[in-house]
Amino acid sequence: LKIPTNSPLSEHVAWKYFRDVLLGIEYLHCQKIVHRDLKPSNMLLSDTGYVKITDFGVSREFTGLDAFLTGTAGTPAFMAPESLTEDEDHFYSGRAQDIWSLGVTLFSLVYGDVPFKAPYSIILYKKIRTEPLCFPEKPEVNESLKDLLIKILQKEPEKRYTLSQIKEHPWVTANSTKPLHEPEQHNEMVKISEKDVKNSVEVIPGLDTIALIKLMGFHRSFCNPLRKKRSGANSRPSRSADRLGSSPREKRTTNNVLSEEFLRMNIQ
């Protein structure tokens, strides 16, 4: 969902997606990770109809009970009031920041736009810090949803709802008829071994290497197809042959030669 939009989600669809994101954020926090840039454009819908959280570019790992952050990170319209400062001596809760972003995300899904807007960042920051939360007249939504948004989008992080409180809210549980249960092993810490770390990065051959291998298959030879043949049995290869034409007039790059070879293959 792109924000702003004139076609926001229905309240029921927003409810379904919000529950998925809520469990996702809870899982991240259990794994000692704060996302810091939660918003609709960082969510993807899977083939099975579940919402997945993406883009961990500014996320942060932490130890202990919470991540104590400094400075600003993320998308301004989704940032919590307490994070809108460049003071390096000012610390704020990473968990509470994610919860605020979760509230702005829910607001955006239902109303099609963020609750606080301004053309310049400095004005936007002031609005987020000082202006009260207001609800558009359209679309009409359940009063229970408005109550949840008010409790999530509290300016003071100490008064802001926690994830456990959000999970038990009547709007989230459909008045206790559909309680939100986390999957099995949802709260277990994932252990990462040295082998996992080593296997996390895979070296991918360069395009020129792949092209060279394909050319060898085309020529049915393990010899370098770009190397010029010797003129005689005892003759030595010239430098220009080894360097693919090193004189200023005949200088050619490997990529140029590969392109010519591929073109010739396609013509044949």
| Strand pairing report for 68-69 and 92-93 | antiparallel
**39 near 101, Cβ under 8 Å?**
yes
| Both structure tokens of 51 | 């919402």
Kindly compute the dihedral angle of the four CA atoms of residues 106, 110, 116, 121, in this order, to the nearest 10 degrees: 70
One-letter amino acid identity for 197?
V
| Both structure tokens of 21 | 């994101």
Find the catalytic residue in 37, 66, 113, 208. 37
Measure the CA–CA gap between 222 and 216, rounded to whole angstroms. Answer: 6
Contacts (Cβ under 8 Å, ≥6 apart) of 262: 211, 215
Measure the CA–CA gap between 230 and 247, rounded to whole angstroms. Answer: 19
Measure the CA–CA gap between 266 and 211, rounded to whole angstroms. Answer: 14
| Half-sphere exposure for 34 (CA within 13 Å, toward CB) | 23
Active site residue 37: yes
Looking at the annotation, which residues are catalytic?
37
